[in-house]
A and B are shown apart, each in its own frame.
Chain A
């Protein structure tokens, strides 16, 4: 008969307790939304309503009357004006495991960006790209416009 040590049980319980914590923390959340605003996720198109979770690999899109504002887990924030498209290419915020990244691509339209804790802990791992350029930033706020082509 296999013997289970006290230690093993404690670890098992620990894993059970920690699992739901890890699952509930989405990378970000929609905090403001106006007009046509959508999240494209794995082929599906979801309305970007206030309270909806946002995750790495999601694509945010707004229509002619749309705008949307997001707050990420590291307290960084970004928002899109009308006719805009933004891809969350990578996001990770776990300082204890040294997993830190915020990489986003502005494909069109207007973006307002305020960096958060990732920008403070590891500025080199915050990067925004546009069709023509790359922006590296150090703890700051930026506005980016990419014309519709």
Chain B
């Protein structure tokens, strides 16, 4: 007797095999653009693994088994899987931190001198958005700080428009005291947190 599978049965069997040994999912930790490596916790309903070194990766085979013990992946392996996704990454946003003279609405000389750099960075940036965000330290009430840093951000917006930045590209927001560079207790004066950030993205 000849052992012969009809095509439809062969396809069905292939389908079943694929179902049993489905390709795994992969999660790989890589260094951020500034070279730092963070930490990721990968979990299924059955357990977790931690990734905390560059190029460390894990595979998930099933939802009801824990992710596999992490291994370090070769660069070539990563490129083979992710070349297109990596090539599609948008540009790393560039941030400028501007400071004001104490208590006033006047930028420090250093900060004034950085404004032309903002304009230079914008040249050649694809569909640029310019996020101007005001920040304060924690002296005073959160609401007053929100308004104060919104005012300062608006001043920076006006200066950017004056040197030639397209107004429609600018978004002005305020984070008040809620997004410090140096976290402090309430009512602590911290000059490094009193700033306006200009992020180009």
Binding site for B on A (CB under 8 A): 21, 24-25, 29, 31-34, 50-51, 67-71, 73, 75, 77, 79-82, 84, 95-96, 98, 109-112, 114-115, 117, 119, 121, 130-147, 149
Contact = CB atoms under 8 A, between A and B. Distances in A.
Contact of B126 (A21, A50, A147): A50
Contacts of B129: 29, 71
Main secondary structure of the interface of B (DSSP, over half): mixed
Contacts of A81: 82-85, 88
A115 B32 CA distance: 9
Contact of A95 (B28, B90, B175): B175
A149 B22 contact: yes
B145 to A, nearest CB: 9
A136 B50 CA distance: 10
29 contacts: A25-B171, A31-B91, A31-B127, A34-B88, A67-B87, A75-B201, A77-B89, A77-B90, A77-B92, A81-B82, A84-B85, A95-B178, A96-B142, A131-B63, A132-B44, A134-B42, A135-B42, A137-B39, A140-B36, A140-B40, A141-B31, A141-B33, A143-B26, A143-B78, A143-B82, A144-B27, A144-B28, A145-B81, A147-B24
B23 interface: yes
A65 to B, nearest CB: 9
B41 A136 contact: yes
A32 to B, nearest CB: 5
A51 B40 contact: no
A97 B146 CA distance: 10
Interface string B61-94: 1110001000000000010011111111111110
A25 B153 CA distance: 15
A144 B26 contact: yes
Nearest to B170: A24
A15 to B, nearest CB: 13
Contact of B88 (A69, A121, A137): A69
Counting contact residues on chain B (CB < 8 A from A), the size range is 35 or more
A110 B82 contact: yes
Interface in B177-201: 178-179, 199, 201
Contact of B82 (A112, A138, A149): A112
A119 B175 CA distance: 16
B32 A139 contact: yes
Contacts of B166: none
A110 B29 contact: no
Contacts of B41: 135-137
B47 to A, nearest CB: 10
A110 B25 contact: no
B131 interface: yes
